[in-house]
A and B are shown apart, each in its own frame.
Chain A
Amino acid sequence: MSDFLLSIRQLAVQVEGKQILDGLDLEVRPGEVHAIMGPNGSGKSTLAHVLAGRPGYEVTGGEVRYDGQDLLALEVEQRAAAGLFLAFQYPVEIPGVSNIQFLKTALNSLRKQRGEPELDALEFLDSVKARMAQMQMEEALLYRGVNEGFSGGEKKSNEILQMLVLEPRLAILDETDSGLDIDALKRVAAGINSFRREDRSLILVTHYQRLLDYVKPDYVHVLQQGRIGRSGGAELALTLEQAGYAQGAVTETEAEAEQGRDRDG
């Protein structure tokens, strides 16, 4: 039995006939934090979406194992029930469904799929409010439509709030740091850090190392030409920041060595 929570091998993905991912490998153990970096358009969101099961992507090769299961064979909501969570780069607005109703429906659906009883409404409300206080979010946001008219920062905080309430085992945060001012970034980072636990893993998708000043990753990977072109420790993010992605182009052997190190732990 593998000790990986997530294991991606040779993943190849097309969007509208265009090859976006081409032979991507990635392995994540429980408790680890991985950062995936890369320039705009390199396929970071594509990877995040494919893992979450968003329609419109064609997997043309490779496989993804999650907690011993074939992840790609699961329905979107089954992946959520299995503990996968995606914080959206562009959170979706749903007018007419209040934020609190959304959170409650989501949590109860997850519990139902796992064969757990529904939560007591008051207990639930208290725990949501406590987490909002922690994120310094205004309670009024609970009674607005999901993300409806939220500022950029409020939308990103709302994604983290959902993560804290739904308590996934693997959270993929797609550019959660982008568009945040420094105070908002610190709040979001604090939320992420409070989520960290030895049985919970994180994949931070970002193209700046800014967030990584506050949430220290165990590994940093660079997505290039549809695959992980380079991997390293937290210091790699700083190198990239100074040298840029183009300079960060790496040799096959280097990449293989990094992957090997990954695998051997």
Chain B
Amino acid sequence: MAEGARLIDTPCWTDLAGADLPWLRLHRLQAFERLSAEGLPARGDEAWKYTLLGDLGERRFRVASRAEDEGSEAGSSRPYRPQGHRILFRDGRWIIQGSTLLPLPAGARLVSLREAIAQQDPLLPEMLGRIATLEGQPFAALNAARFDDGLLLYLPEGCVLEQPIYCRFETDPTEADRVSFPRLLVVMESGSRAQLLEEHLGANGSALTDLLVEISLGEGAQLFHGRLFDSELGDRRISGIHVQQARASLYHSFALMLGGELCRNDLQVQLNGEEASALLEGLYLLDGRQHLDNHLRVDHRLPGGRSDQFYKGILRGHARAVFNGLAVVHPDAQHSDARQINRNLLLSTGAEVDTKPELQIEADDVKCSHGATVGYLDQEQLFYLRSRGVEKQSAQALLTLAFARESLQRLPRGEFTDAYDQIVTDALAGRIVSRPEPSPDTRKVSDE
């Protein structure tokens, strides 16, 4: 088998999909030049200072060949039968045998990116790479330089997808040090609606997934974007989600994050039209030495926009979470409503949270609030439950679940709603059984 290569080593361009298309070559080369010039994040890099990249830059990773991915029987043992379009990605490649697509409304396109490139889909040169900012986003640049497959979703005006699109991302568990660069492009014209549900599973233990998602929402378009991370310790997943929104569109993202050794999400939303809304929600349950980074940025550019960042987390062991939420209200964005909440529940004294909700307001007539808390279980609530006869451990479990429920209640109704609820219930029942006695203080970082 071929020797692995470092992430910043020159890719073998001719192996990549659409290698002969000039616009695509240019896109990749520009991204690669940026990456070569800027390098992977170093210690002093503010936006990456908490992210434990370890030896990622020096490590030799290997990209699986297409034949290996398509031939492999390996995969998650978890059943995959939700109602909807089901797409299986193995090592970042769309696997036809594992995918099931339902009939689509007229004009809608849901195809593998590789296929779209082969067909020279006219949307690609127009949109691919036009939404994501690569500046200060080294892993987005890395993906742009090296992606080979992924997904294209296009919905024409007024098109409503009744069934959700599930995308399951797996890594081949039999090979160490796999790297993959899946790339998703979602273009929704005005009035269209869809639900996109990512599932990141995997038991590889040493894989790196560098995902880049670009989303464009036309006027009044609505997208629910669910993201589930439920991989083994050892997996590393870095994703960049870049969204641009036209007037009165709605982007609702909900990330349920249960792990991996390293999980980093950079979510950037541009509210480019009036009265556009972005609901950015997340719930994380971390354990052991897991590390999770969520970096959110919303730019309010025109009047009447609404953004609501709502992230909650439960940590035990020596897990560490970083929340870095920024909302920028530009001078023209009067009557914007920007909210940020990050609440954390620590179930052990070894867990750690760094939280920084930040507002940057350049307009004068706006409604903004932000708050962050890091604390232990509420001792009053615990005593109340116990005084009614609920045993201590059950009371702790009940309160922990209640903490998580506040996030889950924000999910739209769908088959995945129950699935998410079950995953959280199981995770809490399995993991949060006993804990060292914490001191009953609550550290309030800031509040509304």
Residues of A within 8 A of B (CB): 52-55, 75-77, 79-81, 85-86, 88, 91-92, 94-97, 102, 105-107, 109-110, 113, 145-146, 162, 166
A81 contacts B384, CB within 8 Å? no
Contact status B387-A53, CB under 8 Å? yes
Shortest C-beta distance, A225 to chain B (Å), equals 27
Evaluate contact between B389 and A110: CB separation under 8 angstroms.
yes
Given contacts A77-B391, A113-B391, 20 further A-B contacts (CB under 8 A): A52-B387, A76-B387, A76-B392, A77-B392, A85-B388, A92-B380, A92-B381, A94-B381, A96-B399, A96-B402, A96-B406, A102-B385, A102-B388, A105-B385, A105-B394, A106-B390, A109-B390, A109-B394, A145-B402, A166-B388
Which A residues are in CB contact (< 8 Å) with B404?
Answer: 96
Q: Is the CB of A94 within 8 A of B399?
A: yes
> A104 to B106, alpha carbons, bound, how many Å?
51
Given contacts A76-B383, A92-B384, contact A166 B399 (CB under 8 A): no
> Can you list 9 A-B pairs with a CB-CB distance of less than 8 A?
A54-B383, A76-B383, A76-B386, A92-B383, A92-B384, A96-B404, A102-B388, A109-B389, A113-B389
Residues of A within 8 A of B402 (CB): 94-97, 145
Cross-chain contact B388 with A55 (CB below 8 angstroms): no
A174 → chain B, closest Cβ, in Å? Answer: 11
Which residues does B use to contact A, with CB under 8 Å? 379-381, 383-392, 394-395, 398-399, 401-406, 440
CA distance A95 to B440 in the complex (A): 19
Q: Which of A86, A105, A145 contacts B387 (CB 8 A)?
A: A86
Closest 7 CB pairs of A and B: A96-B402, A80-B389, A106-B388, A110-B389, A76-B386, A92-B384, A96-B405
A53 to B381, CA, bound (A): 14
* B42 to A: closest C-beta gap in Å: 42
- A166 to chain B minimum Cβ distance, whole angstroms, is 7
In this complex, what residue of B is CB-closest to A101? B398
State A94–B381 Cα separation when bound (angstroms).
7
- Min CB–CB distance B373 → chain A (angstroms): 14
Which residue on chain B has the smallest CB distance to residue A110?
A: B389
Q: A56 to chain B: closest CB distance in Å?
A: 9
Distance in angstroms between the alpha carbons of A109 and B392 in the assembled complex: 11
Chain A, Cβ-Cβ closest to B404: A96
Whether the Cβ atoms of A80 and B388 lie closer than 8 Å is: yes
Query: Which of chain B's residues has its CB closest to A87's CB?
Result: B387
Instruction: Give Cα distance in the complex from A54 to B388, angstroms.
Output: 12
Number of A-B residue pairs at CB separation under 8 A: 78
- Residues on A with C-beta less than 8 A from B394 are 105, 109
- Contacting residue for B403 out of A52, A75, A79, A96, CB 8 A: A96
For B406, list chain A residues within 8 Å (CB): 95-96
Provide the bound-state CA to CA distance between A91 and B388, in Å. 12
Which residues does chain B contribute within 8 Å of A107, judged by CB atoms? 389
Chain A residues whose C-beta falls within 8 Å of the C-beta of B395 in the assembled complex: 77
Q: B219 to nearest A CB, angstroms?
A: 36
Query: A57 → chain B, closest Cβ, in Å?
Result: 12
Given contacts A54-B383, A92-B384, A95-B402, contact A106 B392 (CB under 8 A): no
CB distance from A154 to the nearest CB of B (A): 16
A80 to chain B, nearest CB (A): 4
A105 to B383, CA, bound (A): 15
Kindly report which residue of chain B lies nearest to residue A91, judged by CB atoms: B384
Determine the chain A residues whose CB is within 8 A of the CB of B405 once the complex forms. 96
Q: Which residues of B contact A76 (CB under 8 A)?
A: 383, 386-387, 392
**What distance in Å separates the Cβ of A34 from its nearest Cβ neighbour in chain B?**
20
Chain B neighbourhood of A105, CB < 8 A: 385, 390, 394, 398
CB distance A80 to B383 under 8 Å? no
Query: Could you tell me if B381 and A106 are in contact, using CB atoms closer than 8 angstroms?
Result: no
Q: Which of B380, B387, B389 has the most CB of A within 10 A?
A: B389
Q: From residue A100, how far is it (CB to closest CB) to chain B in Å? A: 13
Q: In the complex, A54 Cα to B385 Cα: how many Å?
A: 11
From residue B27, how far is it (CB to closest CB) to chain A in Å? Answer: 46
Chain B residues contacting A92 (CB-CB under 8 Å) are 380-381, 383-384
Nearest-neighbour CB distance to chain A for B271, whole angstroms, equals 30
Shortest C-beta distance, A76 to chain B (Å), equals: 4
Chain A nearest CB, measured from B387 CB (Å): 5
Q: How far is the CA of A128 from the CA of B11 in the complex (A)?
A: 68
Report the bound CA distance from A69 to B385 in whole Å: 22
CA distance A75 to B388 in the complex (A): 12
Chain A residues contacting B387 (CB-CB under 8 Å) are 52-54, 76-77, 79-80, 85-86
Q: How far does the Cβ of B97 sit from chain A's closest Cβ, in whole Å?
A: 42
Give complex CA distance A254, B271 in Å. Answer: 78
For residue B236, give the distance in angstroms from its CB to the closest CB of chain A. Answer: 32
Contacts of A54 in B (CB 8 A): 383, 387
- Give every chain B residue within 8 A of A113 (Cβ-Cβ): 389, 391
| Closest-CB distance, B391 to chain A (whole angstroms) | 5
Separation of A96 and B425 alpha carbons in the complex (Å)? 13
For the complex, what is the distance from the CA of A110 to the CA of B406, rounded to whole Å? 27
Among A76, A85, A88, the most chain B Cβ lie within 10 Å of the Cβ of A76
B residues near A106, Cβ cutoff 8 Å: 385, 388-390
- Min Cβ gap A25→B in Å is 24
| Chain B nearest Cβ from A208, distance in angstroms | 25
B384–chain A nearest beta-carbon distance, Å:
4
Given A77-B389, A109-B389: A88 and B399 interface contact (C-beta under 8 Å): no
- Distance, CA A166 to CA B389, complexed state (A): 9
Cα distance A146–B390 in the bound complex, in angstroms: 14
Establish whether residues B384 and A77, one from each chain, have CB atoms under 8 Å apart when the complex forms. no
User: How far, in whole Å, are A146 and B384 apart by their CA atoms in the complex?
Assistant: 11
A22 to B394, CA, bound (A): 35
Taking the closest CB of chain B, its distance from the CB of A200, in whole angstroms, is 17
* Neighbouring A residues of B385 by C-beta, 8 Å: 94, 102, 105-106
Tell me the complex Cα distance, A145–B391, Å. 20
Q: State how many angstroms separate the Cβ of B395 from the closest Cβ of chain A.
A: 8
Asked whether, in the complex, the Cβ of A162 is within 8 Å of the Cβ of B383, the reply is no
- CB B118 to nearest CB in A, in angstroms, measures 50
A92-B403 Cα distance, complex, nearest whole Å: 15
Kindly list chain A residues whose C-beta atoms are within 8 Å of the C-beta of B399: 94, 96-97
Which of B380, B383, B387 has the most A CB atoms < 10 Å from its CB?
Answer: B387
A105 to B440, CA, bound (A): 24
Nearest Cβ on chain B to A144's Cβ, whole angstroms: 13
Alpha-carbon distance between A105 and B401 when the two chains are bound, in angstroms: 14
Contact A162 B381 (CB under 8 A): no
CA distance A109 to B401 in the complex (A): 18
